[in-house]
Every structure is written in C-alpha cells, then in structure tokens.
Structure 1
Amino acid sequence: MTALCRSYGVDAGVILRQAGLPSSIESQPDRRVAVTSVNLALELAALTCGCPDFGLRLSELRGFSNLGPISLLARDEPTVGDAIRAIAKYLPLHNDALVVTQEIYDDIAVLRCDIVVAGTKTQANDIAVAMQYRILVNFAGPLCRAEQICLSRPQPADISKYREVFGQSLTFDAEFDGIVVKTSVLDQPNPIAEAGLRPYASQFLRMSDPGHGAPAAERVRRLLETLLSNRRCTASFIATQLGVSRRTLTRALEAEGTTFLALLDQTRTEIARRHLEGGDRPLSEIADLLGFSSQSAFSTWFLRKFDMPPRQWRRQHGVRP
C-alpha cells in the first residue's frame, strides 16, 4: 500500500494512522489486525489518491505467496478445485473475516468471496476477487477464462484496469463478489502438484485448526451470513463447511449455550432488519437472501418474530434511500 500511495504522491502513513493502524504495519506481515481498520485504510487511500480502482491496482502487487503457509498446503492438491477448496478451508488461519465458498450448478461453479464484517469494503472486495482470480489462473494456467467476474461495487467511470485484469466478462452492481467458471476448469489436474509432498502438507493441516480460538457459534454465524441465500444452510451443510461432523458441531454449540437453529434465526433477524431499515429492496429479494422459499414464507416468519408484517415494520422503522 505504501508504494502505491507514494506513486500518487500520498503519504500512506497518514492514512494508516487515520484508520487506527500503526504506520509500520506493512513491515509486520504476520501481525493480526482488525479487518475493519484495514478496509477503512483502503477506502481512505482510494479517496485520497483519487483512484477508484485502488484495491485492484494493489492486488497486482501481491502474489500467491501472500497467503503464507496456506499456499504451500494448496500447492500439492491433485486438482485445481481441490487446491482452491484447500485455500478456502484454511483461509481463517490467514484472514478469518474472508469467507470463500464454492457452489456447483450442473456444469457451472460459482466461487464467492464474502468479507463478513460491517463497514464499507469496496476496495477489499476488489482485492479478494482479483486475488481469487489470480490463484485460479495460477493453478489452471494462463489460458483459463472465467465465464463471468461479478463485483457488487458500482461501475466506476473508467473500467480499463478491470478489463485489463479480468477480461471482458464483467458484471458490476452484482448480487455477490466472485467468479463464475465451468466445472471442467476445477476438474483439471493441478500442474504444479507433487504427490510426494502431499503427506507432509496433510500432516501440517492436521496440526492446524482453521479459525482456532474463535467460538463455534461465531464461525457458524459467519458462514450463515454468506450462505443463507443458497437455501442449503442446514446444520449438516454448515458442519461440512467447517470440516466437522454434525454431531461434533451440535456438541460444540451446546457447550456454548446455543443451537444451530437459534443462530440461524438470529442471523436471519439481523439481516432482515438491516435490509428493511436501510433501503427499498423488494421483499421478494430479501426473502431470497434469507433463504426462504417464497416471500409468503418470509412474511410468515417475520410476523411471528416481530408481531407485524415486514411492510408495516419498514414503514415504522425504515429509512428512505
């Protein structure tokens, strides 16, 4: 970040301090800091430099090695899909606010990036998708092409850098941040894998606990926030995403005084309130985001929860955009 800011004549140290970070933070790559502070620093840098694509440009200065030990763990997975799944599974060791998921629909795979913290994160989302795309190309080869690159950010006036990095298949104002590819890309053999090294990586994986130290309820809640809309958010599905059995997950949540269904209800409540308070998104879309099969199912749940229909609640509590 410092080098990129300097190219625009901006002192990155000032921006980092404004975001509540020490100006020397970039010289301490293994130090864990608040993701919200990092996101704020990126937004301030983009604004100060007058560079709406600051995050995208910053991603070009980062490589596969920025993932640290995770890059070593993924390198020897047998297929491209296995390598990307390994990165997603152990990403909490590197960044526990970024959730990467794969959703398969027949011959199409959707690789989603979700930063599950509050606050503006336009630049951070650009970095996440750009790094994910670079990793995909790193494994699948330079001829790999995405069917679609999806960015939730508004389209900037100048998209030349986005075309340069991602190619022509770009969608701005998308419902999610991520990449759409053919499943055949993920089925390709990993050309850089060395089968002889894989047992050593597996041994290291067993010693590493993704999200170590984070309560089970917090890890479940983070996944629910990003996976609700796929309507497969059962306890078994979430347990699989966490790499444990459903029984293990149930016991862990009970030890923390909660249950999967309670967390599901809490997460839906928070997301519903946020969308109803903050804008005019149609109720049908909110229902879909919360994983309900229909708007009427959402309205029935909401009425039971808030003692009034969602439209009435929005009139009383919502803020007109």
Structure 2
Amino acid sequence: MHTFKDYTGSVYGGLGHLLWAYCQAKQIPIPSKLALIQDLERFDFIIWRDLLSELQALTGHSHLALDIASMLETKHLGVMGYLASSSANIETAIRRYYDFHRLLYDGNPLVVEAKDDVLLIRWEVPEALVTNLTNEIAIALVFQFFNRYLRPDQFQLAEIHFSHAAPKSTVFYEKYFGCPVKFQQTYSQVIVPISILALPIDQADQTLQQLLLQQAQHLLSQLPNSTQLDQRLQSAILTGLQQGEFQLEQVAEQLNVRPRQLQRHLQQQGTTFSERLQEVRLLVAVQYLRDPHLSLNEISLLLGFSEQSAFQRAFRKWTQMTPKQWRKQYALKAHLTAV
C-alpha cells in the first residue's frame, strides 16, 4: 500500500502563470488543466510535466521549453525570485536559491556542488518522472534566473549538460545558452564559473532581503503539510470531478490510501472531505464561470451536481452571490480593465 510518503513533488503556482502568459503571447488555446491551476498556490509536479507535453503537442515547437523560459519574470518565481534579486551578489543569490528551492519545486533536492573552478547546479528528479521537456525547462529557468541579474557582458556559463539524447541539431541550444551544450550526460545541469560569484546585483536591497527571508522561512515551514496532503488531495479531487468519480472512497483510491487513513489526515488538518470537496468545487466553478461559452447547466454537470438548482444553492452559500451575479460582476471588471 502506497502512502503520502510516495509524494512526487509540487510546483509553485507562478510557473503555471508563466505557462498561461506564454499561451496568451503565442495565441495558443489554453489547456483546461492549465486553467484549473491558475488560482492554486502550488500544484503537482505531474501536472507540470503533463502540461508541458500537452503544449508540445499543440504547438509542435522543437524548442518549446527554452521559448517558455525566455518569458520568465521575477514574479513567476515568487518570494524566491525576489530574494535573489535583492541579494548583494551572485553567490548570495545562489545560496538563497539553494536554501529555498523547495518553494519553487518541492519534491527532490537541488544539488549545488563546487568542482575545480566551476559550480554544478542540478535537480535530482527520478528519471521515471522527467521528460526531455521537464529537463530542458528546469535548466533554462536556472539560466534565465542568472540572466535577469547580470549584464550579458558579465555573464558566461561554462557548460550546459542534458541527460537525454541530442536532437538533430544542437546549434540553437548553444546560441540560446551562449556556451557548449552536451547531451547524454550523467545529469542535466548548469555549470557556472566560480569567478562570477562575486559579481554584484544592481537591485540589491538588504532591508528587503531580511523581510523576504522571514517570509520565505515561514512559507518553507508550511510545505510539509500543504504539499504532501492538501495539494495532492486537491489535484485528486480535480481529476475526480472531471471523471465523475469524486466520492471519498474514489479519491482515496486515486491517492492509493485507505479511506479511513485519508479521513484521519483531514481531521489532523481540522477539516473534512466534504469541506475540501466544496473548496475545490468553488475553485473550479470560478474558472468555468469566466468562460461565457459555458452555460450554468453545463457548469453544474461538470462540477458533479445532479441539477442546476443544487449548484446555484451551493454557489450562493460559498460566495453570497448567485452564479449569474458573479459572472456579471466578473464581466464588468474585465471590461473596465480592458478600457
């Protein structure tokens, strides 16, 4: 019997926002799974992996991961990104990245290893979980992380390694990263010259750094419960709603735990399965209501309600508004923002 210890990791919600921004910029249809995670603080690594694969299938883009990473902004990295940008120098920024990497991707360790005159930076993710796309975007995000805080004339990587097989042409990769790129290596990793560590960061702010450190430490202390139980359960309920299988026993089966075990976990969190189900239903309902093409009856069915009136009663209980009122309010805000 598997338990929550088999948890495979969660990803910071800002990376979901990065995928959304990319789809909008490239006029790519928004995948339904991507829409569902936009209001989540974190989501399962498996969803991240599957979304990248879905976008690859939609676009046929041979360098999709690198293209997505090029749109990275500090906000997509959350508090960790702002911690790095307020650091005094690159060495401190890397230290912050190492100390708080779980805030970006929680599940497997980040390894930072000094060897001769270079620094090796890599994620240790089980091969069963990764794809070429997840490898490439992980490395490209680290590259863009550095690229944001150093001028091009200062910054030069030593090498990039990928564990997967080389494509037909590696020219694009070497142009993108500005250094030699090797494939079929032991690890996918960024290799940085130690000589750049002392380089200052223009946006350094010691006062902001201390405030952000406190916030990051607080967030990190919350990860064990929120990622191993709450986020995984939320994803399972989302899947269950899509498949019409969202009863306690069915969700517990998805998670490979006994129903009583799941109930005990929820009791320890001070909640119940019914409460968690309603929270997820509200989250999804809001996403569906933003789509003017979906009728209230269709939304009711998608949320697992037997009839529209049951959905309307539930939504009023959640928000003190009817679905029609919420949709009208949202449309008005969208109009005012556009103007």
What band does the TM-score fall into relative to the shorter chain? 0.5 to 0.7
Aligned AA (2:156): R
Note the 1:113-262 alignment, pairs <5 A: 113-116=123-126, 118-143=128-153, 144-209=155-220, 212-213=223-224
Counterparts in 2 of 1:211 and 1:156: CA distance versus 1, 3 Å: farther
SS at match of 1:104: strand
Aligned-residue offset at 1:43: 1.9
Report the Cα distance in structure 2 between the residues aligned to 1:205 and 1:6, rounded to whole angstroms: 30
Any residues of structure 2 matched to 1:265-280 within 5 Å, and which? Answer: none
Amino-acid identity (%): 19
Change over 3 Å in CA distance of 1:41–1:189 after alignment to 2: same
Residue 102 of structure 2 corresponds to residue 92 of structure 1: yes
Aligned residues of 1:78 and 1:189 also touching (Cα < 8 A): yes
2:101 corresponds to 1:82 = no
* Kept after mapping to 2: 8 A contact 1:110/1:179: yes
SS of 1:191's equivalent? coil
Q: Which moved more, 1:143-152 or 1:72-81?
A: 72-81
Instruction: State the distance in 2 between where 1:103 and 1:33 align.
Output: 28
Q: In the TM superposition, what whole-angstrom CA distance separates every residue of 1:80-101 from its partner, at most 9, and x where no partner exists?
A: 0211221222122232136332
How far off is 1:156 after superposition? 1.7
Deviation string, structure 1 residues 227-276 (Cα, Å, up to 9, x no partner): xxxxxxxxxxxxxxxxxxxxxxxxxxxxxxxxxxxxxxxxxxxxxxxxxx
Aligned equivalents of 2:149, 2:51: Cα separation in 1: 31
- Counterpart residue type for residue 196 of structure 2: V
Instruction: Pick the aligned partner of 2:46 from 36, 49, 52.
Output: 36
State whether residues 110 and 124 of structure 2, in contact with CA within 8 Å, keep that contact through their aligned partners in structure 1: yes
Code of the residue aligned with 1:86 in structure 2: it is R
**CA drift at 1:184:** 1.5
1:33 is displaced (CA, Å) by 1.8
Residues 1:81 and 1:45: Cα distance change in structure 2 (over 3 Å): same
Q: Which runs of 5+ in 1 are unaligned?
A: 218-321
Name the CA shift for 1:176/1:138 in 2 (closer, same or farther; >3 Å): same
How far 1:70 sits from its partner (Å)? 1.4
1 or 2 for the larger relative contact order (CA 8 Å, sep ≥6)? 2
What TM-score results when the alignment is normalised by the length of structure 1?
Answer: 0.56
Q: CA separation of 1:106/1:40 partners in 2, compared to 1, >3 Å: closer, same or farther?
A: same
The root-mean-square deviation of aligned C-alpha atoms, in Å, is: 2.9
Which digits, 9 at most, give the CA deviation of each residue in 1:138-174, with x for residues without a partner? Answer: 2333221111011122222243442332024111122
**1:54: how far off?**
1.4
Q: 1:237: which partner in 2? A: none
* Residue 83 (structure 2) aligns with: 73
| Per-residue deviation, 1:74 | 2.3
Cα distance, 1:211–1:204 mapped onto 2, change above 3 Å: closer
Report 1:50-61 matches (<5 A): 50-61=60-71
Quote the Cα distance in structure 1 between the aligned partners of 2:89 and 2:25. 39
User: What is the distance in 1 between the residues matched to 2:88 and 2:25?
Assistant: 41
Q: Distance in 1 between matches of 2:42 and 2:125?
A: 16
Q: Give the drift of 1:206.
A: 4.0
**Structure 2 unmatched runs, 5+:** 1-18, 229-339
User: 2:120 corresponds to which residue?
Assistant: 110
Deviation string 1:34-90 (CA, Å, 9 cap, x unpaired) is 211220221232234222321111111222321011122222322202112212221
**Distance in 2 between residues matched to 1:8 and 1:47, nearest whole Å:** 14
Cα separation, partners in 2 of 1:174 and 1:187, compared to 1, 3 Å: same
The answer to whether the aligner puts 1:46 opposite 2:56 as a matched pair is yes
Cα deviation, residue 4, structure 1: 5.1
Cα distance, 1:182 vs structure 2? 1.5
- Asked if the contact 2:158/2:179 (under 8 Å) is kept, the reply is no
TM-score normalized with structure 2 length: 0.54
Quick one: which amino acid aligns to residue 155 of structure 1? A
